[in-house]
Amino acid sequence: MLKKKIQTAFNKQLNAEVYSAYLYWSMSAHFESLNLKGFASWMRIQALEEMTHAEKFFNFINERSGRVQLTAIEGPPTEWDSPLAIFQATYTHEVKVSGMINKLADLAVAESDHASQVFLQWFVNEQVEEESSADAAVQRLKLAADAPGALFLIDQELGQRVFVPPAAGA
pLDDT in tens, 19-71: 999 999 999 999 999 999 999 999 999 999 999 999 999 999 999 999 999 99
Kindly indicate the confidence band of residue 144, based on its pLDDT and cuts at 50, 70 and 90. Answer: very high
pLDDT at 166: 84
Q: What domains sit in the chain, N to C, each tagged with a CATH number?
A: 4-158 (1.20.1260.10)
pLDDT at 148: 86
Q: Output the furthest CA–CA distance in the chain (Å, rounded).
A: 56
Going by C-alpha positions, the residue among 48, 76, 91, 65 that lies closest to residue 10 is 65
Residue percentage of the chain with pLDDT more than 90? 93
**pLDDT (mean) for 119-126:** 97
pLDDT at 26: 98
**pLDDT (mean) for 67-81:** 97
* Alpha-carbon span 110 to 60, nearest angstrom: 19
- In degrees rounded to 5, what are phi and psi of residue 65? 60, 30
Model confidence, pTM: 0.94
Kindly indicate the confidence band of residue 146, based on its pLDDT and cuts at 50, 70 and 90. Answer: confident
Kindly tell me if the per-residue pLDDT of 167 is higher than 90.
Answer: no
| Mean of all residue pLDDT scores within the chain | 96
Kindly indicate the confidence band of residue 169, based on its pLDDT and cuts at 50, 70 and 90. Answer: low
Kindly tell me if the per-residue pLDDT of 170 is higher than 80.
Answer: no
pLDDT at 93: 98
Centroid of chain to Cα 35 = 23
Burial class (CB in 10 A: 0-12, 13-18, 19+), 39: buried
Q: How many CB atoms lie within 10 A of CB 52?
A: 16
Going by C-alpha positions, the residue among 15, 18, 69, 49 that lies closest to residue 122 is 49
